[in-house]
Amino acid sequence: MADQPKVRVAIIGATAYTSRETLRWLLRHPQVTIVALCSRRDPQPHIAEVFPEFTGRLDMRCEAIDPAALKGRADVALLCLPNGVTMSYVPTLLNAGLRVIDFSADYRLKEPAEYQQWYGKVHTDLANLEHAVYGLPELYRERIRTAQVIANPGCYPTSAVLGIVPLLKAGLIDPHEVIVDAASGISGAGREPKPEHHFPERHENFEAYKIGEHRHMVEIERVLDAQVRGGKTSVIFTPHLVPMERGILSTIYLKPVQPVSAEHVNQVLAEAYDGEPFIRLRVPPPRTADVAHSNFCDMSARVVKSRIIVLSAVDNMVKGAAGQAIQNMNVMFGLEETAGLLA
Amino acid sequence: MADQPKVRVAIIGATAYTSRETLRWLLRHPQVTIVALCSRRDPQPHIAEVFPEFTGRLDMRCEAIDPAALKGRADVALLCLPNGVTMSYVPTLLNAGLRVIDFSADYRLKEPAEYQQWYGKVHTDLANLEHAVYGLPELYRERIRTAQVIANPGCYPTSAVLGIVPLLKAGLIDPHEVIVDAASGISGAGREPKPEHHFPERHENFEAYKIGEHRHMVEIERVLDAQVRGGKTSVIFTPHLVPMERGILSTIYLKPVQPVSAEHVNQVLAEAYDGEPFIRLRVPPPRTADVAHSNFCDMSARVVKSRIIVLSAVDNMVKGAAGQAIQNMNVMFGLEETAGLLA
Amino acid sequence: MADQPKVRVAIIGATAYTSRETLRWLLRHPQVTIVALCSRRDPQPHIAEVFPEFTGRLDMRCEAIDPAALKGRADVALLCLPNGVTMSYVPTLLNAGLRVIDFSADYRLKEPAEYQQWYGKVHTDLANLEHAVYGLPELYRERIRTAQVIANPGCYPTSAVLGIVPLLKAGLIDPHEVIVDAASGISGAGREPKPEHHFPERHENFEAYKIGEHRHMVEIERVLDAQVRGGKTSVIFTPHLVPMERGILSTIYLKPVQPVSAEHVNQVLAEAYDGEPFIRLRVPPPRTADVAHSNFCDMSARVVKSRIIVLSAVDNMVKGAAGQAIQNMNVMFGLEETAGLLA
Amino acid sequence: MADQPKVRVAIIGATAYTSRETLRWLLRHPQVTIVALCSRRDPQPHIAEVFPEFTGRLDMRCEAIDPAALKGRADVALLCLPNGVTMSYVPTLLNAGLRVIDFSADYRLKEPAEYQQWYGKVHTDLANLEHAVYGLPELYRERIRTAQVIANPGCYPTSAVLGIVPLLKAGLIDPHEVIVDAASGISGAGREPKPEHHFPERHENFEAYKIGEHRHMVEIERVLDAQVRGGKTSVIFTPHLVPMERGILSTIYLKPVQPVSAEHVNQVLAEAYDGEPFIRLRVPPPRTADVAHSNFCDMSARVVKSRIIVLSAVDNMVKGAAGQAIQNMNVMFGLEETAGLLA
């Protein structure tokens, strides 16, 4: 292991919260070198000016996003840019010989028309869209190994999909009766200050938003669709905002096709995730605090009257973003899948 | 109005959070006199020792709970005692000539066996249980006027029931397909310090609890049952804890018996609550912050795919407890229903 | 009292947090009518669009700031506008026959040069600056009665000055050795979203800011100066931000000119504030939670080694802003000073 | 490095918050083996029952505290037990051949009488008290290398002392005019639920406590005393509670013996800490968020009128407890001082 060359990582969009979280993890990853921090700012800041916590820990100044300049310097680019922006960089990054892990939604929906419908933009990189792999290792580990472009999953979809897929594949549930009621900490909204995320508006407040209109609803559906023979799934998705920094809990209501016990449901989940390093089946309900600052997804199921209820908790910044990206990177570069992620 | 004698109120269980909240509201109620604060403590504290915010505002020492001593002094007792305790005081309070508003669950479930099943105690006051009125003025205003014993509703049931009943009565929804996914601030857990509500355990944490096992589930069902001809309703109830002091949001998933528009659903709600002083139909989703420290229930409905989603927000300490009790008291004593509650 | 005409109030700058807080209190004030909400927005919003909590409680649309249009309609204008803006409206409001209570700093510093130094603007209303009265009723009650222009004090100065003045007037302390270490909730920063008050930046964070450079430092000094024969006072002021919505606690370090006991210090404070309706001398240390949503200033003193420590807590939005303005208004218009403020 | 045997660590008092934090760090320390978790509970819990976050990460059940049973198994014991308890275990742990790092205050004050005065207990291990070393590596690195018993410093003293000592040693400040105004997150109060740390009491609240009476005041003084030739120092210490989980900020007011510039003060601090891996001199004021979950102490100085103000921020659970203990352990066992602490 000591002789293996380190994976050389460039962060594109280095001033985002997801970049900060990625850097925190990369700094403790033994087999990685951070070679470039790229941003669209002018002038380019030192990373410790943007995130003072890196003072004395990471002495790098940001540089312009120039894929050609990364050729031969970096093996992989982690893109922490907004939706609609990353697709303009991906082709040139690939040309420069880098593999790409994209935190945005640009490569998650396979249908260009659907992307346009939900994200309001024409997709400009159809070639790479086609072969991009949805970066949920628990579902697509083999394809991730050789992928050139990883669409790193959304935070809500990660938590929801992991709780549903094994039951769907086992034929236990009605694919048209899926309700995902989820709640997230505020870091999920990104770093841009907005009136609705001003501290006094968010503190001591709980609310639902984009009810039935959130873009992650269609992302969840498309991932589930791929698991079902024939027909499509139907998901109702209601996100809420919790006055905390990080964490997502999905409370998932599923309709069993025939009576089922909680024991059986939990058994199906346990078997599906046997050997998975980041899925933990729990007896008590999962708490976002228990997965905070970790790449774990904690999960537990109940049966209440006519429904299976699956509770699934992740840290939206880790398993829901940076940690999952690093997990994907580990798989792509033949490292131990948990490298840098368990400590 | 100036000539009307003031309603004389005794608080029983004066050291509870619900008592504190009740006192805050009574102090600004122009037609009320607080005549006694009763507690089970020994020695009896001054109320400002228990709640320093009342220093200089309410100069009263607590006294023992002695119904006989309240005879002729008080018109109504507000009972802020735990479940299972209030039923031991209600008969003697009635004998002393007081009317009773009970914050506990002791008079909410009409079936003694069901009470015993959910609360683990034999009901010892069956006579009063029978004629006690569930104190939700929007449903039972007429019966409240003359009631001797009011079962003040639970916080979660208030928020849930108000969002469901008009649609149930209008025959719009399947009574067996009701899911109430709710989240509450921590004051709902009461004043007793517990490991799970220690600040560092609760802050930056979100979790579900008592999934399908919370006592408010059966309370919601019984109130809904009373609105349906024949058969029983079936409610799945999942409460969550939010790191904030106060506020409840219920996200309610209902199955329409035939296709329906959000406009129609909101119209049915609006007509049902026309003239109700404390129900506000909203277009944007309700926020707990907007009902904090108020007796309002904010409500809004959506239709997403196969479900009606009703969002209903209350302050668990006000419309979910103290404010509702005062609203009931106003109705019982012929005062303006909003007296002391709108300012 | 019932026959007295109500005071007619216009709010200028109705979309500010201080306006919201003022409206909450005015709505429960029995001797006041809100006649106009004025803002600089275009188009003018309904107040319930700006602050949804007023839905069903206050049915008013904002209007342009037109002092002439307020002539004969309003008795007093409460100005919730930014520093440097209010002085452009005050002369015309006075001409229109209104008395003015200004929440900004424009009329707090008597020296135009000092105003310019700290606020970066030339003062344009010197005539009114001269006769404006600093609206701290505990110090200037008599002058407030007849004032045309009230400079409503800053939130930090209110908390600091009330804790220092009696000891300064009693000659107990060295006027050149005053340290005010204070901490505030985030609502004090106003409603404008800024990167540093974005929820994820503020939550789970505590920091000092503008150390020795905050404008309230000079405001505190000038108020104290006026209490000392001859020479000037010297105040070191260090504000901090606390991840909470509201509340200020000042921890004030004072140097006694000769040895003194805590008993004596508290006795001097108690005598100075005897009869004051909003000052509460406490034995345990004051907590911001105990003054939240109230117009009280809670205070307590200790002697530790070479220093007197005075702790002084207010709600920055109430005694530090809206409540104090209403207290001033009550004094100006001959109402009970506590009207609308104790309930 | 790969050939060096790992340091074998036993945690005594494994169910404390400080133990949890220590375990988090030890799990990512490459040169450490956790060999035992000892607690006083009966029956002994699995560590993942106590702290669910360790599910799947640390598969160990707690065992009784039996120093003899640790002989030959462990090289060092980290004691996370309450004040007054650890001194009963230290002699036998030493006899069993372990070195000891004690998180409690039992070995911090060298004078048994002073220990008794402040902690209310007779010290029962005078022999080890005498040779115990105060575990602040920035002051006592050399003595720590060979120490058998380390008194791991208190959280407040760490933050305060680091900000004062260089200025005291440089003769810049009056040793009798030291004011430490500090604020801490709630984890510092430990894991035991108490009424005053119940979530609804602590949230949206800020208060001072134990003003001039906190045990850390004398700890700070004794550490400072040791830096001054002759005479004693005098410290006024006022701790406050901030509604957040972790973090301490000390705002330290110092009186220069002659006029001094902020530049000079910062220069003295920078020289004193040149090469120190965990002290970061900052220009903007330090924020607790920037040191959260890290072993850094961020520091910055100002001169305001007659005072030097030093701001010093640490994470109370890391540099103020667990991280510092590991830093001490690294020094004691000849490891890289930053091992396991920078990533």
What percent of chain D is helix, strand and coil (3-state, nearest 5)? 35, 25, 45
A216 CB within 8 Å of a chain B CB:
no
> Which residue positions in chain B have pLDDT lower than 70?
1-3
Which pLDDT band, with edges at 50, 70 and 90, does D3 fall under? low
Position A303: which residue type? V
In this predicted structure, the answer to whether residue A231 has a pLDDT above a threshold of 90 is: no
Tokens of C293: 């949503």
Mutate to test the interface with D, among C155, C156, C178, C181 (most CBs of D within 10 A): C181
Residue the block writes with tokens 């009320």: B32
Chain C residue numbers with beta carbons less than 8 Å from the beta carbon of B293 are 293
**Smallest Cβ distance to D193: which of B17, B186, B195?**
B195
Position B181: which residue type? D
**Chain A nearest-CA residue for D286:** A52
B49 CB within 8 Å of a chain D CB:
no
In this predicted structure, the answer to whether residue D337 has a pLDDT above a threshold of 60 is: yes
User: C106-143: per-residue pLDDT in tens?
Assistant: 999 999 999 999 999 999 999 999 999 999 999 999 99
User: C13-46: per-residue pLDDT in tens?
Assistant: 999 999 999 999 999 999 999 999 999 999 999 9
Contact D199 B195 (CB under 8 A): no
C282 CB within 8 Å of a chain B CB:
yes
Mutate to test the interface with D, among A1, A280, A299, A338 (most CBs of D within 10 A): A280
Size of interface A-D (CB pairs under 8 A): 47
**Chain D nearest-CA residue for B194:** D193
The continuous run of DSSP H or E covering A94 comes out as: helix A90-95
Size of interface A-C (CB pairs under 8 A): 59
Contact A342 D27 (CB under 8 A): yes
User: D89-103: per-residue pLDDT in tens?
Assistant: 999 999 999 999 999
Q: Do the beta carbons of residue D27 and residue D57 sit within 8 Å?
A: yes
Tell me what pLDDT residue C230 has.
80
**Smallest Cβ distance to A245: which of C187, C193, C203?**
C203
The continuous run of DSSP H or E covering C224 comes out as: helix C215-225
D38, D62, D80, D155: the catalytic one is: D155
Q: How far is D13 from chain C (nearest CA, A)?
A: 27
User: D66-92: per-residue pLDDT in tens?
Assistant: 999 999 999 999 999 999 999 999 999
Q: How far is B243 from chain A (nearest CA, A)?
A: 7
**Chain A nearest-CA residue for C246:** A200
In this predicted structure, the answer to whether residue C11 has a pLDDT above a threshold of 60 is: yes
Q: Could you count the other beta carbons within 10 Å of the beta carbon of residue D68?
A: 9
Tell me what pLDDT residue A1 has.
46
Does the model's pTM come out above 0.95?
yes
Active site members of A: 155
In this predicted structure, the answer to whether residue A14 has a pLDDT above a threshold of 50 is: yes
In this predicted structure, the answer to whether residue C1 has a pLDDT above a threshold of 70 is: no
A275 CB within 8 Å of a chain D CB:
no
Tell me what pLDDT residue A229 has.
85
User: A162-208: per-residue pLDDT in tens?
Assistant: 999 999 999 999 999 999 999 999 999 999 999 999 999 999 999 99
Q: Is ipTM strictly over 0.95?
A: yes
User: A120-166: per-residue pLDDT in tens?
Assistant: 999 999 999 999 999 999 999 999 999 999 999 999 999 999 999 99
Above pLDDT 90, what percent of chain D?
A: 97
C181 CB within 8 Å of a chain D CB:
yes
In this predicted structure, the answer to whether residue C231 has a pLDDT above a threshold of 80 is: no
**Chain C nearest-CA residue for B343:** C28
Q: How far is C143 from chain D (nearest CA, A)?
A: 33
Active site members of B: 155
Q: Do the beta carbons of residue C1 and residue C31 sit within 8 Å?
A: yes
Q: Do the beta carbons of residue C40 and residue C14 sit within 8 Å?
A: no
Q: How far is D290 from chain A (nearest CA, A)?
A: 5
Q: Is C217 helix (H, G, I), strand (E, B) or coil?
A: helix
Residue the block writes with tokens 């109370």: D316
User: What contacts C4, CB < 8 A, 6 or more positions away?
Assistant: C31, C335
User: D230-269: per-residue pLDDT in tens?
Assistant: 879 999 999 999 999 999 999 999 999 999 999 999 999 9
Could you give the domains of chain D? 7-152+321-332 (3.40.50.720), 156-314 (3.30.360.10)
User: What contacts D38, CB < 8 A, 6 or more positions away?
Assistant: D10, D11, D12, D13, D14, D62, D63, D64, D65, D66, D70
Please report all neighbours of C, defined by 3+ CB atom pairs within 8 A. Answer: A, B, D
Position A76: which residue type? V
**Smallest Cβ distance to A293: which of D55, D290, D293?**
D293
In this predicted structure, the answer to whether residue D1 has a pLDDT above a threshold of 50 is: no
Single out the residue of B242, D183, D291 nearest to residue C242, CA to CA. D183
**Chain B nearest-CA residue for D186:** B200
Contact C200 A243 (CB under 8 A): no
